[in-house]
A and B are shown apart, each in its own frame.
Chain A
Amino acid sequence: MLKFLKGIFLTSLLLSGATTGFAEKLGLGRAALPEEIAAWDWDISPDGTGLPVGAGDAIEGEELFAEQCAVCHGDFAEGMGRWPKLAGGFDTLDDDDPVKTVGSYWPHLSTAIDYVKRSMPFGNAGSLSNDEVYAIVAYILYSNDLIDDDFVLSNETMFEVDLPNADGFIFDDRQETEYAVWSGGEPCMRDCKDDVKITMRARVVDVTPEDASSKASEASQVSVAPSKPEETGEQEEAPVVLASFDADLAAKGSKVFKKCQSCHQVGEGAKNRTGPTLNGIVGAPAGAIEKFNYSKALKKAAEGGLIWGEEELAGFLEKPKSYIKGTKMSFSGLKSEEDIAAVIEYLKTFEK
């Protein structure tokens, strides 16, 4: 490590002078309180420094994962769409397209615990208890066939798990492998090659966004006002009767909605994300949000006249995949009836 650092920097004078080279203190700021440090200092290092006390196994983790993680990472940690795959990919690191997962690539288990605890779930970071963190990480390990389902992952057992790619990393060696080769000489200026041929063209691959040219932008500039969606008679006639409204319940629902908000936006400026916007969804016809690419199953239900009344929403939210078989919504469902009622009440507060 020391040798490595010295290799990167030309001199270590800075450090040797560091303790003496500091200026006088200015007396700014205040001492941090222990509670404040505890509230923010969550990072966990490979040697176990910072590991929270807790435990969980893959069976507990499976349920939590389905609820909290599967929407992006898939029920089996296989990754939905372009969201990260967390499992599989073993022995692919020297392939043309390596599959880098927690199992195949990550060198330290502490990193997974640290990341799940501090930064996940997406849109509701830091909300998991320590036991839940261990359970979810255990499920990820189990999905990678790295532990058995009865293995209890905890701050004490973490070191019993070996990650396959633990030794797969080397320190930056550009100094020797690159800088030594590409530095120091006068580069060639004339007759550097006999022949030059085009070997690849971007146009053949054709993955550049279409709006990239200035012409395309000019065209889009013409219609400055956003084009209004075609209003259909159906939408106008959709029942918007809010027979009852319970503000306390809606407030509870705003908390439940955290589970939804990594995919669904509501309120002013809401846009379609992984899921469609949900403004005005209660009482609206299914599959009617402009420009959202619904699953075939949902389109079919919409054609069949499905209206998202409270009852229908409740059914869907309880078990999305059995209510509409083939829905893209990879969410296992809300278990508590009260949560379902609360989130629907919350959704009522957003008008179309």
Chain B
Amino acid sequence: MTDEKRETSHSRRAFLRGAAATGAGALVAGQASAGAEPDKLITEIQPWAQELGDGVDAVPYGLPIKYEADVIRRNVPWLTADTISSVNFTPIHALDGTITPQGCAFERHHSGAIDLKKEDYRLMINGLVDTPMVFTYADLERFPRENQIYFCECAANTGMEWAGAQLNGAQFTHGMIHNMEYSGVSLRSLLNEAGLDAAGDLEDKWVFVEGADASSNGRSIPMEKALDDVMVAFKANGEALRKEHGYPARLVVPGWEGNMWVKWIRRIEVTDQPVESREETSKYTDTLEDGTSRKWTWAMDAKSVVTTPSPQAPIQHGPGPLVITGLAWSGRGSITRVDVSKDGGKTWETARLAKPGTPMALTRFYLDTVWNGEEMLLQSRAMDDTGYVQPTKSQLREVRGLNSIYHNNGIQTWHVGSKGEVENVEVS
């Protein structure tokens, strides 16, 4: 391509950008009037339809196209002292389906995301086992493998909303969640390799799990859960875990709070008591109104949120057909039903699940509706196969008070204005 030509197509693109912007506004009107101007995007040959695109290998590992550059993780700087011990949020308002791409799946680190090579990776199993063991990464790949889709939700997801509506965006209110397909091995098979006869009766035993990072983020997990469905995963959505999600191996603790999903998992100790580490006493405990606190609140209860429309994803197309969509999940089973209200909970209609709910994984719901420009107070309400119905925020506060922080699974309300703008609100 000559320089001259590049310049021409460049300026043409600039022109078209302008045209496209006005074109979008004209689209709605255009549908009604038959005598509208023909769309130049159709009647004129466009550069992309005439010139050649990129060859293969232009990008050996692809990132989203530049037009999607706003679909990124974001953090809330005032929340924490330093990004090294902090959290950011999945842009759930801009995603669809249920699988979260790793590149925009929320991160939570306690001492930063570390750089750990597969070759340097060691996993130790010790404590009340027959033979304390060390496994390399290569060893892990030789155990029978399984694939499972699970959500991972930080216990603090929606925590900033306990005392009232604070953050204007589904990304910030509900974005400490991701949902991936994990490939890895069962913790059961690793414990078996070390042998559990020495542990005796397993019913009152625990495993203490810790990571290779400086925080080590130690957590205690009851043996029953450890032998049930906990995995040591090394792939997510088909590819290696990202550094920020625990490369080369992390723990997957289905349905339970994200803090237990120890990244860079390096040690699993069979114990006869919980360690009561900092992360399971001073943090991730739920303080009730009278000042006592619940501990061991591991399971994440059924919850849902409308992802669009939402404050970062307002209605921009004007009145007419509208797709209301969102996510629902339960750490205690499968989502069976999601209801949506447009009037702040006075009346509800049952949404369509894109696919039947699966245990401890995100479920996508849609409500295909018509919007006539009326104000709405949008809510969603999830139910799971235990019969649990997602509570309102007031129901939660009645039981727990205002200081709980963690495990806020109350019903979220978005106010949609007549122009399609959306705000995070609370309603009576």
Which A residues have a C-beta under 8 Å from some C-beta of B? 1-2, 4-5, 8-9, 12, 14-15, 18-19, 22-23, 25-26, 28-32, 36-37, 40-41, 43-47, 49, 72, 80-83, 93-94, 96-98, 100, 102, 105-108, 110-112, 114-115, 118-119, 122-123, 125-126, 168-174, 177-179, 181-185, 187-193, 195-203, 205, 207-209, 211-214, 217-218, 221, 273-274
Contacts and interface: CB of A to CB of B under 8 A. Distances in A.
Contacts of B346: 191-193, 196
A207 B78 CA distance: 8
Interface string B132-150: 1111100100110000000
Interface stretch (B32-40, B223-231, B352-360): B223-231
Given A178-B301, A197-B427, 6 more contacts: A15-B202, A26-B189, A82-B78, A82-B79, A198-B377, A200-B425
Contacts of A169: 281, 285, 292-295
Contact of B192 (A22, A201, A213): A22
A119 B275 CA distance: 15
- Max chain B Cβ within 10 angstroms of own Cβ: one of A43, A184, A273: A43
Contacts of A25: 192-193, 195
B9 interface: no
A66 B204 CA distance: 42
Interface string B189-215: 100110111000011100010100011
B104 interface: no
Interface residues of B, number: 117
B294 A171 contact: yes
Contact of B142 (A26, A94, A209, A213): A26
Interface string B366-392: 000000000001000101001111110
A112 B277 CA distance: 8
Contacts of A98: 287, 291, 403
B166 interface: yes
B400 to A, nearest CB: 9
A29 B126 CA distance: 13
Given A37-B124, A45-B271, A172-B294, A8 B168 contact: no
A168 B24 CA distance: 59
A181 B395 CA distance: 10
B143 A26 contact: yes
A150 to B, nearest CB: 27
Interface string B13-40: 0000000000000000000000000000
A48 to B, nearest CB: 11
A190 B347 contact: yes
Given A111-B282, A198-B415, A202-B166, A43 B224 contact: no
Interface of B: 66, 69-70, 72, 74-85, 94, 110-111, 124-127, 131-136, 139, 142-143, 164-169, 171-172, 188-189, 192-193, 195-197, 202-204, 208, 210, 214-216, 218, 222-224, 227-228, 266-267, 269, 271, 273-278, 281-282, 285, 287, 289-299, 301, 311-312, 339, 343-349, 377, 381, 383, 386-391, 395, 399, 402-403, 415, 423-428
Contacts of A112: 278
Contacts of B291: 93-94, 98, 168
Nearest to A106: B282
Given A30-B133, A205-B165, A46 B273 contact: yes
Contact of B297 (A15, A174, A208): A174
A196 B381 contact: no
Contacts of A188: 348
Contacts of B164: 200, 205
16 contacts: A18-B202, A22-B196, A25-B193, A26-B142, A31-B134, A40-B266, A45-B276, A46-B276, A82-B78, A105-B282, A119-B111, A125-B214, A197-B428, A198-B415, A202-B311, A208-B166
A184 B387 contact: yes
- Max chain B Cβ within 10 angstroms of own Cβ: one of A108, A115, A197, A209: A209
Given A5-B203, A202-B423, A203-B168, A115 B277 contact: yes
A187 B339 contact: yes
Contact of B425 (A5, A192, A202, A209): A202
Nearest to B386: A183
Contact of B295 (A83, A119, A170, A209): A170
- Max chain A Cβ within 10 angstroms of own Cβ: one of B189, B277, B349, B377: B277
A170 B298 contact: no
A168 B110 CA distance: 25
A209 B76 CA distance: 6
Given A72-B81, A96-B403, A43 B210 contact: yes
A174 B301 contact: yes
A5 B126 CA distance: 23
B21 to A, nearest CB: 11
Given A31-B133, A217-B70, A273-B84, A94 B290 contact: yes
- Max chain A Cβ within 10 angstroms of own Cβ: one of B135, B282, B377: B282
Contacts of A207: 76, 78, 166-167
Contacts of A37: 124, 126, 132
A143 B245 CA distance: 37
Contacts of A274: 81-82
Q: Closest 9 A-B residue pairs measured CB to CB? A: A217-B70, A94-B291, A93-B291, A196-B344, A202-B424, A125-B214, A82-B81, A32-B132, A29-B135
Nearest to B85: A122
Contacts of A111: 276-278, 281-282
- Max chain B Cβ within 10 angstroms of own Cβ: one of A2, A8, A44: A8
Nearest to B273: A45
Nearest to A4: B296
B131 A31 contact: yes
Contacts of A205: 164-166
A114 B219 CA distance: 12
Given A30-B134, A179-B388, A14 B126 contact: no
A121 to B, nearest CB: 9
B389 A106 contact: no
Contacts of A187: 339, 348, 381, 383, 389
- Max chain A Cβ within 10 angstroms of own Cβ: one of B78, B296, B298: B296
B228 to A, nearest CB: 6
